[in-house]
C-alpha cells in the first residue's frame, strides 16, 4: 500500500469516526475541549503527525468529575437490563465502525490491521457479554440463625470508575472496563495513553452518539487526555472509588500507593514475562505457531507476549531450528498491508529499549541466533521498525528477568522432569500468562495444579496471548492481581451489601445474646 493510499485511507477513517484530522481538541465530556498543553499523535507507521490534541487542565478535570457525578445519580436508577440495552446499542455502533476504528488502531498504535480489527471485535464481544450480564448481577440468599428473619446479599454501583489504559491496546481494555462498569450502574472517566489519544476521542464520539440517542447524560462516558499528571488527578481523587490501571509495574506501584492511601480500590493489570514450556511430548508444529505469534504479534508489545521459551534439552535443537526457519518467513512493514506479519514499535524509546536488551543479553553471555536490528530506508522512515530477535540465554540472566516490550524471545533449556521447567517459569516477579506444550496428560494437569504455574492465566497447547473475553483476565505477583473482562470480574465494579430482614414480631439478637428492657 503506497503512502498516499495510506494517508487517504486513514483520513477517510477519521472522518467516519467524527474526527477532523488536524488540531483536534480533547473531549472532556462528550462535547467540550481541553485547553492545556498540546499532545501530537504521531504514527509509528510512517512518522507522520496525525493530529494534535489538547490536554485536560485541573479546572476542566473538576468539571468532568462534576458532570460524571451528576450523571451517576441518573444512571444508577435505571434497571440493569435497561443499562444493558444501552451497551447493546453501543456494541452495534462498534459493528458499524469496526473497519475505520480498526484502521485507526492499526495506524496510531502500529499493530497489524488484522489485530486492529481483532481489538475492535474484543470490544464488541465484551458488549455482548455485558448485555447478558445485565440480567445476572445476582447476590445470594442464606438462612438466618434467628427465627422470622431472612438474609441476603446484593450488589450496588460504586460510582465513578477511573480508567487508565496503555497504548498497546488503545480501545479494547477501555471497553473491557466500561461495558462491565456501565451495566453495573457506574459511570466512567477514561484517561487513554498519551501515545494514542485519537483512539480515545474516536471511542468517545461513538459512545456519545449512543447516549444522545437514548436521551442520557454525557457524563456517563467521560474522557480526559494527558500524561501521568492527568492520571494523578484520578488516582488521588476520593470521588473516584475505583481506578483501573493498565501499564508497567512501576506505574502500577505508584497508582496502588496513591489509591490505597485514600482507601480506594485499584484494579491493576501490569507487566508480564510470559513463558511457554515445551516438553518432549509437545507437538512441534503447534509449538512454533504459538511461540512465533506470541513473540512477534503486535511487535512483542502485548502484556501477554511470549518472552521466554523453556525447552527440554532432548528436543531443544529441533525446536530451535524450526523457530529460526519460521522467523525467516516473517514480513516486516506497514501494518495496514495485510501481507506483513510485524509492524513498528510505538516510538523511539521502545526502539532504544529493544537495542539495549539485545546488547545486555550478549554481555551476560547469551547468543543471538536470530539477529535483530533497526530497519532503515524505504518504507521504514519512522525509525520504529525492528527485526524480531531470538537469543539463547539462561534463566538467571538479569535481562531475562525483565519485560522488554519488543519482539525479543529468550530461548531457555531445561533438563529432567517438567517440575524443573515450572520452577524456571515461576522464577520471575511477573505472573500474567503462561503455557505448556505437551500431549502428556500428567504434565498438563500438573502445570494447571496448585504446584504448577503461578500465573493468572495458564494454557495448555496454545500460546500465552489471545485471551477470550469470557474468562477473567489478569495476573498475580507484580502483575497486580487485578481481574477484568469475563467470569465474575463484574463484582469488583460494585459494592457488596448484606441485608437482614426481620418479619417477626420479636427482636432476637444474634449469637443468642439476651438484652431485656
Residues assigned a catalytic role: 269, 303
List the one residue out of 300, 271, 315, 314 whose CA is nearest residue 358: 300
- Sort residue 148 into left (φ over 0), alpha (ψ -120 to 50) or beta: left
Written as one string, the DSSP assignment of 34-91 is --S-EEEEE-TTT--EEEEEEPPPHHHHHHHHHHHHHHHHHHTTS-HHHHHHHHHHHH
Residues ≥6 apart with Cβ < 8 Å to 367: 391, 392
For residue 172, which phi and psi values (nearest 5 degrees)? Answer: -65, -45
DSSP string, 297-356: GGGG-STT-EEEEEEETTTHHHHHHHHHHHHTT--BS-TTSTT-SB---SSHHHHHHHHH
For residue 460, count CB atoms less than 10 angstroms from its CB and return exposed for 0-12, middle for 13-18, buried for 19 or more.
Answer: middle
Return the closest-CA partner of residue 100 out of 158, 166, 13, 169.
13
CA distance 424 to 408: 18
Question: CA 397 to CA 427: how far, in whole Å?
Answer: 11
Which three three-digit cell numbers place residue 389? 530477535
Q: What is the largest CA-CA distance in the chain?
A: 91
Q: Rounded to whole angstroms, how far apart are CA atoms 421 and 417?
A: 7
CA torsion sign for 210, 214, 215, 216 is negative
**CA distances for 183 relative to 30, 55, 198, angstroms:** 20, 29, 25
3-state class of 151 per DSSP?
strand
For 295, the enclosing helix (H) or strand (E) is helix 284-296
Which grid cell sits at 397?
A: 540472566
Q: Return the number of other C-beta atoms located less than 10 Å from residue 265's C-beta.
A: 16
Task: Give the CA distances from residue 308 to residues 210, 413, 435, in Å, rounded to whole numbers and listed in that order.
Answer: 43, 10, 11
Contact between 223 and 197 (Cβ < 8 Å): no
Amino acid at each position: 500500500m503506497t503512502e498516499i493510499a495510506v494517508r487517504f485511507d486513514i483520513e477517510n477513517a477519521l472522518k467516519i469516526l467524527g474526527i477532523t484530522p488536524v488540531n483536534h481538541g480533547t473531549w472532556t465530556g462528550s462535547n467540550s475541549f481541553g485547553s492545556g498543553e498540546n499532545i501530537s499523535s504521531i504514527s509509528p507507521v510512517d512518522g507522520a503527525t496525525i493530529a494534535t490534541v489538547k490536554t485536560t487542565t485541573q479546572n476542566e478535570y473538576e468539571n468532568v468529575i462534576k458532570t460524571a457525578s451528576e450523571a451517576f445519580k441518573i444512571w444508577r436508577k435505571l434497571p440493569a437490563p435497561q443499562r444493558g440495552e444501552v451497551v447493546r446499542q453501543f456494541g452495534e455502533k462498534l459493528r458499524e465502525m469496526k473497519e475505520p476504528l480498526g484502521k485507526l488502531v492499526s495506524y496510531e498504535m502500529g499493530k497489524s490491521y488484522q489485530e486492529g480489527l481483532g481489538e475492535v471485535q474484543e470490544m464488541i464481544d465484551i458488549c455482548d457479554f455485558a448485555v447478558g450480564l445485565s440480567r445476572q448481577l445476582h447476590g445470594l440468599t442464606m438462612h438466618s440463625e434467628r427465627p422470622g428473619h431472612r438474609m441476603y446479599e446484593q450488589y450496588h454501583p460504586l460510582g465513578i470508575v477511573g480508567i487508565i489504559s496503555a497504548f498497546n491496546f488503545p480501545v479494547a481494555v477501555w471497553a473491557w472496563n466500561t461495558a462491565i462498569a456501565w451495566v453495573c450502574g457506574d459511570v466512567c472517566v477514561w484517561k487513554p495513553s498519551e501515545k494514542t489519544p485519537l483512539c480515545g476521542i474516536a471511542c468517545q464520539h461513538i459512545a456519545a452518539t449512543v447516549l444522545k440517542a437514548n436521551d442520557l447524560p454525557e457524563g456517563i462516558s467521560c474522557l480526559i487526555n494527558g500524561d501521568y499528571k492527568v492520571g494523578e488527578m484520578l488516582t488521588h481523587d476520593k470521588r473516584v472509588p475505583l481506578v483501573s490501571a493498565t501499564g508497567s509495574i512501576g506505574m502500577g506501584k505508584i497508582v496502588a500507593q496513591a489509591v490505597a492511601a485514600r482507601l480506594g480500590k485499584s484494579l491493576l493489570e501490569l507487566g508480564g514475562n510470559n513463558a511457554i514450556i515445551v516438553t518432549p511430548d509437545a507437538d512441534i508444529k503447534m509449538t512454533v505457531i504459538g511461540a512465533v505469534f506470541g513473540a512477534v504479534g503486535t511487535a512483542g508489545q502485548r502484556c501477554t507476549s511470549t518472552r521466554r521459551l523453556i525447552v527440554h534439552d532432548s528436543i531443544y535443537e529441533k525446536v530451535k531450528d524450526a523457530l529460526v526457519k519460521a522467523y525467516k518467513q516473517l514480513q516486516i512493514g506497514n501494518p495496514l498491508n495485510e501481507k506483513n506479519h510485524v509492524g513498528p514499535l510505538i516510538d523511539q524509546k521502545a526502539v532504544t529499549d529493544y537495542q539495549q536488551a539485545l546488547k545486555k543479553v550478549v554481555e551476560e553471555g547469551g547468543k543471538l541466533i536470530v539477529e535483530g536490528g533497526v530497519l532503515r530506508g524505504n518504507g521504514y522512515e519512522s525509525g520504529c521498525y525492528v527485526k524480531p530477535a531470538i537469543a539463547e540465554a539462561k534463566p538467571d540472566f538479569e535481562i531475562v528477568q525483565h519485560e522488554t516490550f519488543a519482539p525479543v524471545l529468550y530461548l531457555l533449556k531445561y533438563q529432567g522432569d517438567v517440575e524443573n521447567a515450572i520452577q524456571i517459569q515461576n522464577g520471575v516477579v511477573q505472573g500474567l500468562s503462561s503455557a505448556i506444550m505437551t500431549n502428556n496428560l500428567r504434565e498438563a494437569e500438573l502445570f494447571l495444579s496448585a504446584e504448577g504455574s503461578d500465573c493468572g492465566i495458564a494454557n495448555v497447547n496454545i500460546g500465552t496471548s489471545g485471551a477470550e473475553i469470557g474468562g477473567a483476565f489478569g495476573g498475580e505477583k507484580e502483575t497486580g492481581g487485578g481481574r477484568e473482562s469475563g467470569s465474575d470480574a463484574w463484582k469488583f465494579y460494585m459494592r457488596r451489601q448484606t441485608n437482614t430482614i426481620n418479619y417477626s414480631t420479636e427482636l432476637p439478637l444474634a449469637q443468642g445474646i439476651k438484652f431485656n428492657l
